[in-house]
Chains A and B, each alone.
Chain A
Amino acid sequence: MDAYRLSLKLYFQPGAAPELAPFISIFHRWIRDHTLDHLLIDVADYSEVPNGPGVMLIGHEGHYSVDTTDGQPGFVYSHKRPEAGSFAERLRSNWRRLLAAAKQLEQEEALNGSLSIAGDHFACRINDRLLAPNQQETLASVESDLRRFAAEICGETARETAVEIEHESDPRACFGVRIRTEHPYSITALSPTLERS
């Protein structure tokens, strides 16, 4: 799978969707302070759009958003620029980008600890209809990587974790799966396996 436009989404706990307004100042400050280790460019405020990307932090390599596009609020990282490596490697690098930002968000005072991530499921999309059309073949080509990855993020002890992959197969939508893990993963620490890889 050569596609690099991967998008990963963490979901907020039901009923714990944060207010959007504070993210505007948080993201502006991140740009100013170079808080994340890639080039951040701008903040796009789409909070007026219901079930939209909310407030976005636009970066050169990819965008972050406090997103409800699929109907459920969560925090997304969408990678945009070409990146070397295998699909499995790209999954990991994008997960790291997502987690670095999510960890940072958890420390933001303005959010008053309101950010609460449901650590038992996440979504992965491939925003590339050329290389990853939304069909069974695509699922087949990435499924084992996704499973290994999902088990990994739950930590070494979770090797036996049940991983459930739900594939939304609307052929017009991007390829997308929702992944449930029986054991929760931590967003404050990468699993030891990921740290090493």
Chain B
Amino acid sequence: MTVISRTHTSSETDVSTAAAPAILDTWKARLRNRIPPSIEREIELYETQMELKRRGKLDDKVFAESRLRRGAYGQRYDNGQRQNGISAQTLDYPSGDLTKGPNTLWDAPGMHRIKIPFGEVTAPQMEVLAELAEEIADGICHVTTRQDFQLHFVHIDDTPDLMRRLAAVGITTREACGNVVRNITGCPLAGVCHDESFDVTPYAKALTTFLLGHPDAQDFGRKFKISFSGCDDQPCGLGRMHDIGLIAKQQTVDGTVQNGFKVFVGGGLGAVPHKAKVFTDFLPVDELLPTTQAICRVFARLGEKRNRARARIKFLVAKLGIEEFQRLVQDERSQLPEDPRWIGFLPEALPEAASLDFGTSNSDASGPFTEAFETWRLKQDGAVNEAAPIPNRPHPDAFDAWAANNVRQQRQNGYFTVLLHLPLGDLTAPQMRRLARLSREYAGGVARTTVEQNMMLRWISGGDLIELYQELSEVQLARPGAGTIVDVTSCPGTDTCKLGISSSRGLASELSRQLAERSYELDEAVQNLRIKVSGCFNSCGQHHVADIGFYGVSRKAGNHRVPHFQVVLGGQWSENAGSYGLPVVAVPSKNVPTALTRLTDFYIRERERGESFQAFVQRVGKQEIKTRLLDLTRIPGFDEDRSYYSDWGDAREYTLADLGVGECAGEVVSLADFGLAESESTAFEAQIALDAGRIDDAVRGAYTAMVQAARAITRIELPDLTENPDEVVRQFKTRFHDTQRFHDPFAGAKFANYLFRAHDANGDSVAPDAAHRRIEEAQLFIEATHACNTRLSQI
């Protein structure tokens, strides 16, 4: 046998830590000296819990919370059941009915969320993420809408070593999920942005470290999300949609410039979005940690614990009123025992930083101090190349188009940021490895993730831009159009999320493809619109703050179900997520691309000079827009066009085929459908009233819509039910709520409670933002009624 053996040596110069000889054959042994003992103990405790669970000695709920707090989530089909388009199929896992949580099978693949504070990842971290994606997941690193990474299809047995390998490069997955402080997000441009007051990075870092595992931040009824922004009017930090939004601000006191934050509390998306309230206009930086701690304590003490649906801090703030909330926090703050960590982190306290001046600043917006800090911090990670302008020499044709949207000049002369436009937030392990290498060569060894599911390299010398572009192109990471209409954001939706109703990724991918094909002909007015898609009302894709948002719903057509998306308009991405959109009309998934084209064409044709999309929607009115989309809501019969009955990127039939609904049920169901259509119109009118500033009409309309929907479903059993709201609510409650037939499989009584609360409050006058919420609740109640109607017709 002729035998040839060749070895190619790669062009990589630095040697991976992963390439050490395999003498020690567990990660635990291998990484012993590289993981802080407290973290190793944490992981060992988790392994013990896994073992106890395997032996049936640990409660399902306890174990589920334990793994969730470490970022190990369930994934779709993890109850061992999967619809195959024709019937429900059982997935027979080898470990049988061993579970890792209520109704969650041990062997079922899961998702692992990896927390990346303010999105900053170092080259070694990127390499470990790539390794893990390749070895224990599906080869893809996915960037989320909160700057985290997720790996999918991970077996729980592989999670302890995943945690070890991440811990060895300084990443903890601790508190990535659960009722805790989630990843603290921040502008990816912090430290290099023209608009910022100062660099929020050290503050985001300090708050992350301070709150991680802090005893005052463990006893919440619900998750808690914090974000940092460098300025008030750019969208990067999305401050107004967070439980705490911190916006950098400077104030001059006695001739000295002081750094601090404008603080928002009680914002949040989710099913019913709340806009945050201003907690204080200026919180000096040395008050950041203690005041946040005090807020956590008040939330832990007074926040709702039993009813998950009312447990976010937004409900507490709404209940107490912002003044009372402020007072309670101030009281709490004044009683806190002094903690040296409160100010120990301040950049001002770091002598090395303060004494440095690298002279790269050309901005008045930020003092030389923070400038020096950013540069100093960077030097800790690795040197960046000398500043230089972009050379005037021949470059690839596509370079200019790419640079137009993906490259931005930093505040520091001669340095640029480069956005990597990732399709649906995904990149492969080899791409990630290459990115790690490029970050070392060009960007000081770090990159950042963005809430738009992209990644960013910073501190790129103008002199390197063309080479960097070429290198990125080699691994398909030089996709143009970052931050434009083709850069569609999406939550995981039905691909992997258990709550997904429609395929958000499928739709986002299709929209992005179609828009990219048309991009050369797209009007400039449309180029910069943001599209965001969520697979359900929970808003993980942040559809409320998009120019054009979509969230998944389903509708019945005959005996089948058809995937739909609600078209959400009126949201605002700028001003830190300044306003939230509302649903206008539900369109079958397969018609959404056409609906989008119509909307954008309409805007291009009829907008007034310089008119923003929000202003346009407000001027022409949602009624007009709805009218223009109405024909698209028609669903062709099942035999006429079956494509409507399956979702984007999914070949299965969306609905259970041929359910054999009896004649009687069929008739009654159509009566219910009729009533539901009526309630939807009423909810829509309520929106129109709200847009026109007729608050009382809006509130009344929302309430009436809920009563109509409740009546529609109740008439299945009580066809002669009167229209009297008291009677409708009473009958609905006895027949559907008390019997739990209306309960949502995940949210329980949440939606029915919207009706009961609105009924109790009927006649009270409310503020505009509460009216907005009431309409949102009406919409969700109607969705829940649709879902209940479908469930009933399947029995």
Interface residues of A (CB under 8 A from B): 2, 5, 24-25, 28-29, 31-32, 39, 41-53, 56, 58, 60, 63, 65, 69-70, 80-81, 127-139, 143, 147, 151, 159-174
A-B contacts, 6 listed (Cβ < 8 Å): A44-B152, A52-B428, A132-B22, A133-B18, A160-B2, A167-B8
Chain B, 18-75, CB within 8 A of any chain A CB = 18-22, 25-27, 30
- Are B9 and A169 closer than 8 Å at their CB atoms? yes
* Contact (Cβ within 8 A) A39 B92: yes
B107 in the interface (beta carbon within 8 A): yes
Extra inter-chain contacts (16) besides given A49-B427, A139-B5, CB under 8 Å:
A24-B650, A32-B84, A41-B108, A42-B76, A47-B649, A49-B140, A60-B93, A69-B430, A80-B155, A129-B135, A130-B22, A133-B20, A133-B21, A135-B19, A139-B7, A171-B10
Which residue from chain A places its CB closest to the CB of B95 in the assembled complex?
Answer: A60
Instruction: Report which residue of A5, A65, A81, A173 has the largest number of chain B beta carbons within 10 angstroms of its beta carbon.
Output: A173
Tell whether, in the assembled complex, residue A172 and residue B428 are in contact, meaning their CB atoms are under 8 Å apart: no
Q: Which of B689-728 contact A (CB under 8 A)?
A: none
Docked Cα-Cα span, A29 to B2, in Å, equals 44
- Name the contact of B3 in the complex, choosing from A53, A133, A147 (C-beta under 8 A): A147
Q: Please classify how large the interface on chain B is, using the bins under 10, 10 to 19, 20 to 34, 35 or more.
A: 35 or more
Tell me whether A69 and B139 are in contact in the complex, defined as CB-CB below 8 angstroms, given that A24-B650, A41-B77, A169-B10 are known contacts: yes
Q: Does B117 contact A (CB under 8 A)?
A: no
Say whether A53 contacts B93, CB under 8 Å.
no
Q: How far is the CB of B277 from chain A (nearest CB, A)?
A: 39
A12 to B264 CA separation, bound complex (whole angstroms): 56
Q: Let me know if B82 and A28 touch, CB within 8 A.
A: no
Shortest B150–chain A CB gap in Å is 13
CB distance from A27 to the nearest CB of B (A): 8
Q: Who on chain B is nearest to A134 by CB?
A: B19
Chain A nearest CB from B516 CB (Å) reads: 10
Is the beta-carbon distance between B140 and A52 smaller than 8 angstroms?
yes
Is B8 a contact partner of A168 (Cβ separation < 8 A)? yes
Report whether A41 and B135 are in contact in the complex, using a CB–CB cutoff of 8 Å.
no
Cα–Cα, bound, A133→B18 (Å): 7
Query: What CA separation (Å) do A132 and B82 show in the bound complex?
Result: 36
Report whether B476 and A51 are in contact in the complex, using a CB–CB cutoff of 8 Å: yes
Known: A28-B650, A41-B109, A52-B428. A147 touches B18 (CB 8 A): no
With a cutoff of 8 Å between Cβ atoms, the chain B residues found around residue A166 in the complex are 6, 8
A47 to B5 alpha-carbon distance, docked (Å) = 35
**What residues of chain A lie closer than 8 Å to B152, measured between beta carbons?**
44
Q: Mark B114-147, 1 if CB is under 8 A from A, else 0.
A: 0000000000000100110011101110000000
Q: Decide if B739 is an interface residue (CB 8 Å cutoff).
A: no
Distance (whole angstroms) from the CB of A58 to the closest CB of chain B: 5
- Asked whether B18 lies within 8 Å of A171 as measured between CB atoms, the reply is yes
Contact present for B139 and A53 (CB under 8 Å): yes
Q: CB distance A171 to B16 under 8 Å? A: yes
A19 to chain B, nearest CB (A): 14
B1 touches A168 (CB 8 A): no
Q: Are A159 and B1 in contact (CB under 8 A)?
A: yes
Task: Decide if B89 is an interface residue (CB 8 Å cutoff).
Answer: yes
The complex places the Cα of A138 from the Cα of B15 at a distance, in Å, of 16
Q: Which of B8, B26, B433 contacts A130 (CB 8 A)?
A: B26
Find chain A residues with CB under 8 A from B30 CB.
130
> Is B25 in contact with A172, judged by CB distance below 8 angstroms?
no
Give complex CA distance A42, B5 in Å: 39
A69-B429 contact, Cβ under 8 Å, with A45-B506, A52-B140, A129-B131: yes
Question: Nearest chain B CB to A57's CB is how many angstroms away?
Answer: 11
Using CB atoms, name the residue of chain A closest to B508: A48
- The chain A residue sitting closest to B509, CB to CB, is A48
Q: Do B138 and A165 touch across chains, with their CB atoms under 8 A apart?
A: no
Please tell me if B398 contacts chain A, counting CB pairs below 8 Å.
no
Instruction: Verify if B512 is at the interface (C-beta below 8 Å from A).
Output: yes
Question: Could you tell me the distance between the alpha carbons of A56 and B91 in the complex, rounded to whole angstroms?
Answer: 18
Cβ-closest chain A residue relative to B649: A45
B155 touching A63 by the CB < 8 A rule?
Answer: no
> Which of A39, A46, A69, A131 has the largest count of B CB atoms less than 10 A from its CB?
A46
**Cross-chain contact B89 with A32 (CB below 8 angstroms):** yes
In the complex, B304 has a CB within 8 A of chain A: no
Given contacts A39-B93, A41-B77, A164-B6, contact A170 B651 (CB under 8 A): no
Given contacts A42-B82, A163-B1, A164-B4, contact A173 B430 (CB under 8 A): yes
| B495 contacts A by Cβ under 8 Å | yes
Which one of A29, A45, A50, A127 lies within 8 Å of B495 (CB-CB)?
A45
List of B residues within 8 angstroms of A129 by Cβ: 18-19, 131, 135
Q: A127, B8: Cβ atoms under 8 Å?
A: no
Complex Cα distance A41/B430, Å? 25
Residues of A within 8 A of B27 (CB): 130
Chain A residues with CB below 8 A from B7, complex form: 136, 139, 167, 169
Interfacial chain A residues near B84, Cβ < 8 Å = 28, 31-32
In the assembled complex, the CB of B481 is this many whole angstroms from the nearest CB of chain A, namely 14
- Decide if A171 touches B19 in the complex (CB within 8 Å): yes
Chain B residue with Cβ nearest A167: B7
The contact string, 1 if C-beta is below 8 Å from chain A, for chain B 495-516, is 1000000000110010011000
Contacts of A43 in B (CB 8 A): 650
Residues of chain A within 8 A (CB-CB) of B593 are none
Q: B308 at interface (Cβ–Cβ under 8 A)? A: no
In the bound complex, do residue B433 and residue A24 qualify as a contact, i.e. CB atoms below 8 Å apart?
no
Whether A58 contacts B1 by the Cβ 8 Å rule is no
Residues of chain B lying within 8 A (CB to CB) of residue A29: 651
Chain B residues contacting A56 (CB-CB under 8 Å) are 138
Within residues 137 to 174 of chain B, which ones have a CB less than 8 A from any CB in chain A? Answer: 138-140, 152-153, 155
Which residues of chain B are within 8 angstroms of A70 by Cβ–Cβ distance? Answer: 430
Per the bound structure, the CA–CA distance linking A41 and B757 in Å amounts to 42
Bound-state CA distance A137–B23 (Å) is 11
B512 contact from A48, A151, A160, A163, Cβ within 8 A: A48
B86 within 8 A of A: yes
| Contact across chains for B16 and A44 when beta carbons are under 8 A apart | no
Q: How far is the CB of A166 from chain B (nearest CB, A)?
A: 5
CB of B423 closer than 8 Å to a CB of A = yes
B91 contacts A147, CB within 8 Å? Answer: no
Q: B109 and A58: CB pair below 8 A?
A: yes
Residue of B nearest to A5 (CB): B135
| Given A80-B155, A170-B12, A172-B433, A137 contacting B138 (CB threshold 8 A) | no
Query: Are A31 and B82 closer than 8 Å at their CB atoms?
Result: yes
Contact status A46-B506, CB under 8 Å: no
B76 close to A133 (CB less than 8 A): no
Q: Is the CB of A167 within 8 A of B5?
A: yes
A147 near B1: Cβ-Cβ < 8 Å: yes
With contacts A44-B152, A160-B1 known, is A53 near B138, CB below 8 A? yes
Asked, given contacts A28-B652, A130-B30, whether A49 binds B92 with beta carbons under 8 Å apart, the answer is no
> A48, A135, A166 — which one has the most chain B CB atoms within 10 A of its CB?
A48
Instruction: Give complex CA distance A31, B92 in Å.
Output: 12
**How near does chain B come to A152, taking the closest CB pair, in angstroms?**
12
B424 at the interface (CB under 8 A from A): yes
Measured CB to CB, the closest approach of chain A to B721, in angstroms, equals 42
A185 to chain B, nearest CB (A): 15
Residue numbers in B under 8 Å from A160 (CB-CB): 1-2
Query: B426 near A: Cβ within 8 Å?
Result: yes
Considering only CB atoms, which chain B residue lies closest to A141 in the complex? Answer: B22
Q: Are A127 and B9 in contact (CB under 8 A)?
A: no
- Asked if B475 CB lies within 8 Å of chain A CBs, one says yes
Cβ contact within 8 Å between A41 and B155: no
Closest to A164 in B: B4
Q: Which of B4, B134, B153, B652 contacts A162 (CB 8 A)?
A: B4
CA separation between A89 and B195, bound complex, in Å? 62
Note all chain A residues with C-beta closer than 8 A to B77.
Answer: 41-42
- A143, closest chain B residue (CB): B5
**In the complex, A171 Cα to B433 Cα: how many Å?**
11
Question: What is the minimal beta-carbon distance from B16 to any residue of chain A, in angstroms?
Answer: 4
In the complex, what distance in Å separates the CA atom of A24 from the CA atom of B757? 45
Contacts of A172 in B (CB 8 A): 12, 16, 18-19, 127, 130-131, 433, 436
A42 (CB) vs chain B CBs: closest residue: B77
A125 (CB) vs chain B CBs: closest residue: B134
Q: Which residues of B contact A130 (CB under 8 A)?
A: 22, 25-27, 30
